Structure 1
Amino acid sequence: MNELSFTATVFNLDPKQIKSVPVSLMPGDFYREATGVVEPRQCYDNCRILMMMNAIKDYRYVLVYSFGLIPFEHAIIKLDDGTYVDPTLEIVNPEHQVKYIVTHELDYDELCDVAIKIGRAPNISDMLNVERYGDLSNEKCIQQDIVANSILASELLEVSR
C-alpha cells in the first residue's frame, strides 16, 4: 500500500481529494521570519502564526499526512507562488526527509474561522469533524473519530502482517 492509499484509508478519504506534493526550501525572507517563530513539535501553531504574519499574502495553511521514519499528521504552508514549504522541519530538523500527502488547504479567513471556533490551530481530525458532522466542538464527534481511527489502524496492522 503506497502513502496515498494509506492516508485515504486511515482517514476514510476519497483518494481523489488528496494529493502528494513536493516541498521546497523556504525563500530567504520567509526563512528569516520563520526562524523567529518556529518551535519544535508545534507545526500547527508555527504555521498559524506565520499565516497571521503574512495575512496580506495569498498563503494557504496546509494539513498533510507526512511519511518519514514514521507517519504523522503535520502542517505546512503553500506560498502565493504555489510552492509548498515546511517551516517546522526545515528549521528544527533540516535533514529530515519526508513525503507529504495533502488532505486540506485553508486560506487565511478559513484558518481564522476554524481557529476561533476551537481555540487553536486545526489538525486533520478537526477538519474531518467539520466535513462529517458540521461541528468542531462536539465531543461525541471527536470520540467517534478516535474510536474509528483506532479500529482502522489495528485492522491495517493486521493486514500488513
Structure 2
Amino acid sequence: MSPDYVHRTGAPPGFKPVHLLVGVVVFVAWFAVLGFVLTHGRDHTSSVDVYSELPSGFTGALEAQGVTYQGLSPVDNGTQQQALSHLPALGNDNGGQPLVFRTSFTVAKKGGRPGPATPALMVVIPDPQGSDVHVEFVDPTTFKPLETVEYGASSPGTSSSSPTTSSAPSG
C-alpha cells in the first residue's frame, strides 16, 4: 500500500507533551476569565438606566423653561468631583445628593426655536425636602457654568427663578 492510504495512529509528528500542558492551561484560563466576567457585575446599576435617577417631572420642567437635553450618560467619580468643586455654593437649604451626567442641551431662542446643541455636564441637585431642583449645565473641559435652571419639584411647570445663561469665556 502507498503511504497516502495508511492511517497513522498516535501523536502527530513534532508533538511534545508540553504542548498538551499549554493547551490545558489556555483552556483553564479561558474558562476562569469567562467565569469571572459572568459572576461579577451583578447588582450594579446599569448605565442605561440613568433617566430613572432624575427627579419626577424633571424633563417637563426643563422643557417648560425652554431647555432640552439629550443623550444622558454617567461620569466617573473624578469628573463628578471636579464639576461639583467648580460650582458656586448653593446655600444651606439645598443639601440634596447631586447627580452628574454627560449630555448635550439646547436653549430655546426667542420665537421658540431651539438653539444649537451644546455638549455639557448636567449637575442636578434636588432639595432634600423635594421642593426645589437646581440644575447646572457646565462646560465639560473648563467646568464653567453655561446655563442654570431652578424649578419647584412639586409643580414642574412653575419656576422659582427664570433660566439664566452665562457664557464661558473662550480660550
Which TM-score bucket, shorter chain as reference? under 0.3
Higher relative contact order (CA 8 A, sep 6+): 1
Q: Which has the higher helix share?
A: 1
Query: TM-score if structure 1 supplies the norm length?
Result: 0.26
Which structure has the bigger radius of gyration? 2
Q: Which has the higher strand share?
A: 2
